[in-house]
Structure 1
Amino acid sequence: MLEVAERARSAAADALARTPEQLEALRAAGVVDSGGSGLLLLLDALLHVLDGRPLPACEAGPGALPDVGGVAAETADEGTASCRYEVMYLLDAPDEAVPAFREVWSGLGDSIVVVGGDGTWNCHIHTDDIGAAIEAALDAGRPSRIRVTDLFEEIEEERWVREAAGAAGTVEEPHAHCAVVAVCTGDGIRRIFASLGVHRFVTGGQSMNPSTADLLAAIEDANADEVVLLPNNKNVVAVAEAAAAAASKPARVVVTHGIQEGIAALLDYDPEGSADDNVVAMAASAAHVVGGEVTRAVRDSTSPAGPIAEGDYLGISRDGIRVVAPSVAEAATGLLELLIDVDHHEVVTIIAGEAAHAADTRRITEWIEERHPQLVAEVHPGGQPLYPYLLSVE
């Protein structure tokens, strides 16, 4: 196995450059494409797992994301992920092995998605340790269709494409039979959605609803025969349905009331399927999520959960305001206590907004570990305004 991996790595390097030294020079110059680099990363990771060989050093400094056309590049300490690699694979593993697998992955990176059942799991993570991310699968079962992407190179490549398009006209994106248009805000949320296949983004959410014209323009601009829309807010559903009805191509709406449901829906998105088939599958996936959000009161008021003073933190579910608390962590944990069904839920997903602080996030995850040790907590940087935390359990 080790000899095969060495020969494959050497052949891949030779296909991209005459010598490994030339390959590294081309990489540094940005000439090697992300697909070829991804193959080499995968083979390097295999050699790391089999023989303990070190992975190639990152050209960029720790946590240094390249400038991507106005998208803020922040370090993990500032609330945005800085993991370099995206690792995805299918995992054949018994259901009882998956909680331990998730726990290992929770220490390796972010943007973690592990979904499936009956022995087959679709796994996705952003990490700096490719070898450990793959080795975790070998401990749990058998991985297949492994894909490794250098996110820093991909972001830089996208910047080059944009600059080239500005200098020499537009560059046509790959065609899809069915594209996804999603309403959202926050750089982190857009990155998560993009990694799950979203083609067009429309800025919007609570108190900043997009117009029908905005959504219609995104539908028409998508390079696809058909389109699925994710409104991701109950106030945007009617606008999305109006845009879908006015579109010149088949467009359907998956009724998602929050970002959490949108992420779940995308796990069953098929770019080669029809909009009608995608709506059925994606809506079923979204229905499995129980979501909530934490925000701050801007004025005194009353609620079913008790009186509200300006500055209080509110825990909100589909049923309305469920928790009123003096701190954001208390509001989040109080809401989770109401949302969690210990007999049916396995994972708590926390999407941290621009106002979230690491100390509060740690209090929430520690509360989950203490009160519900059977659950796995996954934290993703979302960067959304107004809501320090978006929460979901499934």
Structure 2
Amino acid sequence: MPVQLLEEAQVPQVLDVIAVRAWCSLALEALGRDRAEIDAINVYPVADGDTGTNLYLTLESAHQAVEAVFAGLEAGPEPAAPALPEVMRAMAHGALIGARGNSGTILAQLLRGMAQVLAADGAGEGDHAGGADADALRLALGRAAEAAREAVAHPVEGTVLTVATAAAEAASAADGGCREVVRAAYEGACVALDATPGQLAALGSAGVVDAGGRGLVAVLGALSEAVSGEAAPVRGRGAGTRARVDAVPDGVLLECPEDEGAAGPAFEVIYLLEAEDGAVARLRTRLDALGDSLVVVGGDGLWNVHVHVDDAGAAVEAGVEAGRPYRIRITHFGLGDVHATHAAAPRERAQRAVVAVVPGDGLAGLYREAGATTVPDRPGEPPASGELVDAIRRAHAREVVLLPNDAELRHTAAAAAEQARSEGLRIALIPTRSAVQGIAALAVHEPDRRFDEDVVAMTSAAGATRYGELAVAERQSWTMAGICQAGDVLGLIDGDVAVIGGEVPATARTVLDRMLAAGGELVTLVLGEDVSDEVAAGLERHVRESYLAVDTVVYRGGRQSALMLIGVE
């Protein structure tokens, strides 16, 4: 077979799960590469230079969710690829919970719109379980554009909404298969992007295209490459506005003209909200009266709310009345993320701080008492690198020790550390794989000694701590200890399943015995909210009677913590 025909035969004629996974990776890579350029041309609706960063962090969360789906199935007794509906739902949900800024929130809704079509339920499984054909892709891109417009209180032309609509219209008019549809969508988006300076005065005055639309072009280019196997063509410079965009130096923020957008609300407020549809409809009306740039995306009880207001407290109170807001972020334009309704007075940087990812509110309190800045690690919602960078900035120190406390967060933590170093901070990443290792590191932390010495001591303490965990199996699966059934209690040691039991106390005792067989002086138990005080007392008694020279300390992990964490030093 000729080489060209062979290559064409390898290109999928549908958008399948492999293509979606590749799309996520390629889009994240593209936004990472173009982030500085997109930030530099961000002049609308607020010239705060963060559109590229917000899009990157939003897609990073979507990428993590997709990879988690694949990792869960690949770890089973019979590794298999997930179905397209499951992957698309994960991608949309990941973007929703990680959406940042106006542009990221709209991107999350675009992905949700696509998922509504590509993950449509049929007879027990998605109609596109094996992959989406060209017709499905046309419908998905059309629904994405519609959903994004529906989410914005007052749509404005010349923005990412215009670019999304043009992409959908071009895809709808395209003949051929998936390759031709996604290429048409990309090219239609490029043409629409070039026209945005003539549609929005702020862009025309600054000589730039819309930053959100530029980000969407990068995402659609990645989709085209994932489906066709060929990188999307780089469009040549057009006259005037496009040439001026390409000439913007890295890191230069173009200011919005004084007659547009110079005087606006002082705060950007973003939060996730658990609420019913009716309450969200009332919330939209109230927030629309409070400010502008209102975008509310989501559904099925979980929403992401974004608005620009002068009264940040009122925007949060409106969320409280509608349901349960959390992950609340309040940014004062020009002052950065303040997490409050007033700006704090400038303060001098501390010499050293510790930033730690912590599961459960109980452990978070313990870490804070020890002086650490904490980042929550909620079940199914691992923090993105942007959240870790935000925490490093909040710590306001020249030197920072970062404790990820989870083996799965090593790459995320490394990315955050690299970003912080680029801002001039001195960062040490200690590869803690469990919160109990973080506790051991904090116990020897001395901020007054030399940084390198402190890092070595903390690293040594964490490395000398074996870690275990008790969890409940969610489904039948193959493990290092054999096949477990749904509902079994699993005892993990250093990340691997070592014990399969039927009840918590007996499984915990077995795990303790195996861990203490290699010696130890101190046992740390972190109990989830479902573990009783009687169980804790029984385990303390077991250690005291069986290992005379070993002490035991017990902490409450609180809500959203693991069933039980065990540390042996």
SS at match of 2:446: coil
Query: Are the counterparts in 1 of residues 355 and 400 from structure 2 also a CA contact under 8 Å?
Result: yes
In the other structure, the counterpart of 1:233 is: 406
The CA deviation at 1:279 is 2.2
SS at match of 1:385: coil
Which of the pair has the greater relative contact order for Cα pairs under 8 Å at 6+ separation?
1
SS at match of 1:241: helix
Q: Deviations over 1:142-179 (max 9, x none)?
A: xxxxxxxxxxxxxxxxxxxxxxx968642667742111
Q: Does 1:191 align with 2:191?
A: no
How many angstroms apart in 2 are the aligned matches of 1:364 and 1:190? 23
SS at match of 1:191: helix
The CA deviation at 1:203 is 1.2
The CA deviation at 1:213 is 0.8
Q: Does 1:217 align with 2:390?
A: yes
The CA deviation at 1:357 is 1.3
SS at match of 2:470: strand
Query: Are the counterparts in 1 of residues 360 and 378 from structure 2 also a CA contact under 8 Å?
Result: no
Query: Are the counterparts in 2 of residues 231 and 257 from structure 1 also a CA contact under 8 Å?
Result: yes
Residue 565 of structure 2: which of 373, 384, 390 is its match?
A: 390
Q: Deviations over 1:171-217 (max 9, x none)?
A: 6677421111110122221121122221x211116643210111111
The CA deviation at 1:273 is 4.5
How many angstroms apart in 1 are the aligned matches of 2:347 and 2:362? 22
How many angstroms apart in 2 are the aligned matches of 1:166 and 1:304? 47
Q: Deviations over 1:92-119 (max 9, x none)?
A: xxxxxxxxxxxxxxxxxxxxxxxxxxxx
Q: Deviations over 1:16-53 (max 9, x none)?
A: xxxxxxxxxxxxxxxxxxxxxxxxxxxxxxxxxxxxxx
* Structure 1 length-normalised TM: 0.54
The CA deviation at 1:237 is 1.4
In the other structure, the counterpart of 2:344 is: 170
Q: Which amino acid aligns with 1:235?
A: E
What RMSD over aligned residues (CA atoms) do the two structures have, in Å? 2.3
Query: Are the counterparts in 2 of residues 250 and 275 from structure 1 also a CA contact under 8 Å?
Result: no
Q: Does 1:324 align with 2:497?
A: no
In the other structure, the counterpart of 1:293 is: 469
Q: Which amino acid aligns with 1:338?
A: R
How many angstroms apart in 1 are the aligned matches of 2:340 and 2:494? 44
Q: Which one has a larger percent helix, Structure 1 or Structure 2?
A: 2
Alignment CA distance shift 1:272-1:321 (3 Å): same
SS at match of 2:487: coil
How many angstroms apart in 2 are the aligned matches of 1:236 and 1:268? 23
The CA deviation at 1:362 is 2.3
How many angstroms apart in 1 are the aligned matches of 2:558 and 2:478? 29
Query: Are the counterparts in 1 of residues 368 and 374 from structure 2 also a CA contact under 8 Å?
Result: no
In the other structure, the counterpart of 1:94 is: none
Q: Does 1:282 align with 2:455?
A: no
How many angstroms apart in 1 are the aligned matches of 2:499 and 2:357? 27
Corresponding pairs, count: 228
Q: Which amino acid aligns with 1:226?
A: E
How many angstroms apart in 2 are the aligned matches of 1:213 and 1:378? 34
Alignment CA distance shift 1:230-1:206 (3 Å): farther
SS at match of 1:270: coil
Alignment CA distance shift 1:172-1:274 (3 Å): farther
Residue 181 of structure 1: which of 355, 360, 368 is its match?
A: 355
How many angstroms apart in 2 are the aligned matches of 1:329 and 1:171? 51
Alignment CA distance shift 1:186-1:392 (3 Å): same
Query: Are the counterparts in 2 of residues 205 and 232 from structure 1 also a CA contact under 8 Å?
Result: no
The CA deviation at 1:377 is 1.8
* Structure 2 length-normalised TM: 0.38
The CA deviation at 1:302 is 2.1
In the other structure, the counterpart of 1:311 is: 487
How many angstroms apart in 1 are the aligned matches of 2:348 and 2:360? 25
SS at match of 2:477: coil
The CA deviation at 1:347 is 1.6
Alignment CA distance shift 1:319-1:185 (3 Å): closer
Query: Are the counterparts in 1 of residues 468 and 495 from structure 2 also a CA contact under 8 Å?
Result: no
Larger Cα-atom Rg: 2
SS at match of 2:406: coil
The CA deviation at 1:388 is 1.6
How many angstroms apart in 1 are the aligned matches of 2:349 and 2:477? 50
In the other structure, the counterpart of 1:246 is: 419
The CA deviation at 1:360 is 1.9
Q: Which amino acid aligns with 2:468?
A: G
How many angstroms apart in 2 are the aligned matches of 1:329 and 1:347? 19
Q: Percent identity?
A: 30
Residue 547 of structure 2: which of 372, 378, 381 is its match?
A: 372
How many angstroms apart in 1 are the aligned matches of 2:383 and 2:402? 13
Query: Are the counterparts in 2 of residues 265 and 286 from structure 1 also a CA contact under 8 Å?
Result: yes
Q: Which amino acid aligns with 1:368?
A: V
How many angstroms apart in 2 are the aligned matches of 1:302 and 1:167? 50
How many angstroms apart in 2 are the aligned matches of 1:268 and 1:370? 28
In the other structure, the counterpart of 2:447 is: 271
Query: Are the counterparts in 1 of residues 359 and 561 from structure 2 also a CA contact under 8 Å?
Result: no
Query: Are the counterparts in 2 of residues 176 and 272 from structure 1 also a CA contact under 8 Å?
Result: no
How many angstroms apart in 2 are the aligned matches of 1:230 and 1:383? 20
Query: Are the counterparts in 2 of residues 251 and 275 from structure 1 also a CA contact under 8 Å?
Result: no
SS at match of 1:378: strand
How many angstroms apart in 2 are the aligned matches of 1:378 and 1:305? 28
Alignment CA distance shift 1:347-1:277 (3 Å): closer
How many angstroms apart in 2 are the aligned matches of 1:294 and 1:321? 9
Q: Which one has a larger percent strand, Structure 1 or Structure 2?
A: 1
Q: Which amino acid aligns with 2:521?
A: E
Q: Which amino acid aligns with 1:238?
A: H
Alignment CA distance shift 1:171-1:237 (3 Å): same
In the other structure, the counterpart of 1:116 is: none
How many angstroms apart in 1 are the aligned matches of 2:406 and 2:361? 17
Q: Does 1:381 align with 2:531?
A: no
Residue 348 of structure 1: which of 497, 514, 523 is its match?
A: 523
Unaligned runs of 5+ in 1: 1-164
